Amino acid sequence: MSHAPTPRPLRLAAAGPLTGAMTVPGDKSISHRALMFAGLAVGESRIRGLLEGEDVLATAAALRAMGATIERSAEGEWRVHGVGVGGLLQPQVALEMGNSGTSTRLLMGLVASHPIVATFTGDASLSKRPMGRVIEPLARMGAGFAAAPGDRLPLTLRGRCPAVPIDYTLPVASAQVKSAVLLAGLNTPGITRVREPVPTRDHSERMLRGFGAELTVEETGEGRVISLHGEAELRAQDIVVPGDPSSAGFWLVAASIVPGSDVTVRNVLMNPTRTGLLTALRLMGASIETMAEREVGGETVADLRVRHAPLTAIEVPPDLAPSMIDEYPILFVAAAFARGTTVARGAHELRVKESDRIAAMAAALGLAGLTVREHEDGLSIEGRDGDPLPGTANGTTVASLLDHRIAMSMAVAGMHSARGIAIDDAAPIATSYPTFLDTATSLGAATTWLNR
């Protein structure tokens, strides 16, 4: 599932306004969860709009290895015959997660309350990322772990059945940890509770209820309390996956910074736990119009029309961090073209993503000609007041560090640069957005593969 080992260097350059309309791939968070819940449901679920990137395909492969039947039709519809809660089978091979932290952490929760043993492996990037924050609550539920030093992959998990229900307060805002505990709670007798002082994306809660789980969410003075009744029976569903707001974010920023641009992104998920970037861009003065807002499968979706507009630096409200944690790299790019110095902090989580995204973006933007100050939890970026970035010098490439969001963010920066921006490896983009470069070209960007 990991991308090809041979790097694919790429240069993105300015080529006039970006114009047109497009849809972005299905939301990655919802795609992962749709497969997992369908894999535990009784009957056949049908999924349309599934993101077919490497991360989601890693989830599908793991579920097949544990007994679910998952097939894709020629028309792009996915059909999943689930095994029922408690019905996961012992995998005969290691579960290869590629670059997908979401697959790993959520599937760990799934396995933790089943009487099976599973080994999780991943690529070089994923194998550097700590899993301790998921191990801790799942171990309290009774699961056993043998991990590489630092609670890293490769990792072997021995599930416990019956597991022990817990009442768990999240020490950091993490939808992945929350979801892992809830997934373990599905096959655990009694009530499993997760308390989150800071709200995080709530796709697991919405979708679990849709599949028939008995789940309640209570708003309290200390935050949200999610209670799940275990030994659930999930019922097969038909699911339409809306467009990924994280993927849409690249075009919202690209059209905002490239003069003369006018781009419409259709069918974007508008869940309020996922719209932090939209809020931040509007605070900076971006021209983004919400059109045709509607409900699809329990989630709000809309079309977004974005036109070039001058951006002004802001101090990004830290309370936006949970609703835009994956979008900080592309927000940093927007800040690069604003008037004044943007301060974006409150994002400690970026240090433990596919790469250290704070350090990676500081280095990449610096190579492209920007003045950047690195903080422990974010960046301060001196914007260019709409002027193009100088770009990378001949023979110089910015390092993507096997991180798809770094690669795509710097690709967008290259769309308004004097010399273009060369990226050392664009191959990781396939993990979440396989058609990104095709879309860039169709909108008018100039892309050139470089020889090594």
Rounded-to-integer distance, Cα 423 and Cα 7, Å: 10
Structural contact between residues 268 and 26, judged by C-beta atoms closer than 8 angstroms: no
Element (H, E) at 264: strand 262-269
Q: Is 178 one of the annotated binding-site residues?
A: no
1/452 Cα distance (integer angstroms): 24
| Structure token digits, residue 146 | 């043998």
Quote the CA–CA distance of 50 and 241 in Å, as a whole number.
Answer: 6
Nearest of 67, 108, 103, 106 to residue 88 by alpha carbon: 67
Tokens 């799934």 belong to 110
- Alpha-carbon distance of 73 to 68, in angstroms, equals 16
Sign of the dihedral defined by the CA atoms of residues 94, 98, 99, 100, in that order? negative
Say if residues 267 and 243 touch (Cβ distance below 8 Å). yes
- Both structure tokens of 299: 């989630």
| Residue 220: both structure tokens together | 């309290």
55 labelled binding-site residue: no
Strands (E) in 49-136, as ranges, are 69-72, 78-81, 95-96, 117-121
Contact by Cβ (8 Å): 31, 56: yes
Q: What are phi and psi of 92, to 5 degrees?
A: -90, -5
Contact (Cβ atoms closer than 8 angstroms) between residue 242 and residue 27: yes
**Was 444 annotated as part of a binding site?**
no
Establish whether 357 is an annotated binding residue: yes
176 is in an annotated binding site: yes
Task: Name the residue with tokens 């396995």.
Answer: 111
Helix (H) or strand (E) holding 109: helix 101-112
Q: What share of the chain is helix, strand, coil (3-state, %, to 5)?
A: 35, 30, 40
> Could you tell me the end-to-end alpha-carbon distance of the chain, in angstroms, rounded to an integer?
24
28 is in an annotated binding site: yes
- Out of 27, 326, 403, 425, which one is annotated catalytic? 326
- Known active-site residue 55: no
Residue 128, annotated as binding a ligand: no
What's the rounded Cα separation, in Å, for the pair 439 and 248?
11
- Residues 6 or more apart in contact with residue 28 via CB below 8 angstroms: 51, 53, 55, 56, 102, 244, 246, 247, 432
Cβ neighbors of 438 (< 8 A, separation 6 or more) are none
Tokens 């610096």, residue located:
366
User: Is 326 marked as a binding-site residue?
Assistant: yes
Residue 394 class from Cβ within 10 Å (0-12 exposed, 13-18 middle, 19+ buried)? Answer: exposed
| 353 in a known ligand binding site | yes
Binding site as annotated, residues for phosphoenolpyruvate: 28, 101, 129, 176, 357, 405
Binding site as annotated, residues for 3-phosphoshikimate: 28-29, 33, 174, 176, 326, 353
Binding site as annotated, residues: 28-29, 33, 101, 129, 174, 176, 326, 353, 357, 405
The residues carrying an active-site annotation are: 326
